[in-house]
Amino acid sequence: MKSIVRVIAITSLIFLAASLLIFPAIKKHYDDENGMRNIVINRITIEAEEAAAAGGRYTADIESLREEYGKRAVPDSIEYIAVSELALYEEELKRDAFGSEFICPIKGTDKTPQAFLKLTYLSGDENFTYLVTGMILLVSYIAAILVVIILYRLMVRPFNTLSDYPEKIARGRLTEGLPRTGSGLFGKYIWGMNMLSDELKLKDKNINAMEREKQTLIVSIAHGIKTPLSNIRLYAEAIEKGIYHKDKKPDEKDAETAGKIRQNVDKVEALVKEIMDSSTAATAEHSVHISSFYLSELMDIVKKEYTGRMELLHIPFETVCENDPILNSDRDGLYKVISQLLDNAIKYGSGQGISLYMGRQDEDVIISVKNKGNVLSEEETAYVFKSFWRGSNAKGKEGQGIGLYVSKKIAEKLGGDIFMKSWEAEDTTEVTLIIPIDANT
């Protein structure tokens, strides 16, 4: 909205500047023209007085005068008026403003008017020119403002709505497709962006599935290696202690060899652990970008993305933002966590209602998502933040079991933590995120 106000202000300034330039230019033009007309009128008057003094009547050669002074400086007609008819033209004797008709006295030798000349110009009404120019500027200004408003409604406003979408895709905020706008100019763009969004969602789903399969394979291999390693360790310890000798006394060389075997077992076990840890860490990869922002800004982003979706799904959606502190944290990371919690509430809840709370508590910010339906038992909630773990309420629902695991890792990177609590009697689940106001402390 600020952009259209700015454009209207600039357009108004342009037309104001044009008016300040055009009207003085018109005045200068008429001043120059009036000066030339005065010269012509004075000449005609003098020649008419000379003709009257000689006993004749002056007849102007208008064509010759036009060749000499120009068409607009010379009257279109010259008419004699007798002194007895002067009363009929008294109002026209005022020459303080240049009009289209002029009456000039023809004086005799005694300086008294003997007759009058009526000089008529068919063009050159200064006031009419001002009026027409003003009307043209006014109509042009109104037309320009209307064009600005129409372009804003048809192009600028829809484009502003669409311009945020590539950033949402890049940041993983793919909660729903791009809505249709009131303008049909962006139909192909909207179709293409929604197609891109669907394709990225599908690829993201496939990548998560492959990641789960990879993790499952690694866990299987790790467990497969751990069992024989444990047996090798036991055998090595038995040899070290001489358990397999009849006298139960260890042989020095055998004990030394067994000790080396045990040391290598330790190295293999450490390697297996490192592989599992690095694989799990890659699943939760998130680059933290710290910036300052108000808590209400984060709430506005969430409401903008989810309010329409909740209405479409007919799920009551309540939001509360208290205190509105300034955070020094990762806004995109927090949004990623909140969107995961809301998506889970939509997916696993009963649709009776979802509430989102944000507020300050001492030096921390509390963010909680509460929903009704399909709660997990207290025993299961202890495992929800494990990688690739899915609860008993996940049957028949899509998912890879890594969303809450990634959310917890993001919370920990920001110096906070995340918890889940269920009330089976009330059929309610609440997930609470606690992070410090300043992630750098």
Sort 400 into a burial class: Cβ within 10 Å, 0-12 / 13-18 / 19+.
buried
In the chain, list all ranges with CATH 1.10.287.
187-283
**CATH 3.30.565.10 location in the chain:** 291-436
What is the distance between the terminal CA atoms of the chain, rounded to a whole angstrom?
Answer: 38
Residue range 291-436 forms a domain whose CATH class is: alpha beta
Q: How far apart are CA 255 and CA 232, in angstroms?
A: 14
Each residue's pLDDT tens digit, 83-133: 766 666 555 544 434 457 788 888 877 788 888 888 888 766 677 778 888
Six token digits for residue 19:
């008016």
Q: pLDDT by residue (tens digit) across 250-283? A: 777 777 887 888 888 888 878 877 776 666 555 5
Matching residue, tokens 């007798």: 82
Q: Which amino acid is located at 202 in the chain?
A: L
Distance CA 255, CA 261 (A): 10
Q: Could you read off the pLDDT of 360-395 as tens digits, one per residue?
A: 998 999 999 998 877 777 777 777 777 665 555 556
Fold of the domain built from segment(s) 187-283: Helix Hairpins (1.10.287)
CA distance 369 to 357: 7
303-307, 331-335, 430-434: range with lowest mean pLDDT: 303-307
- Given the structure tokens 């507020």, which residue do they identify? 359
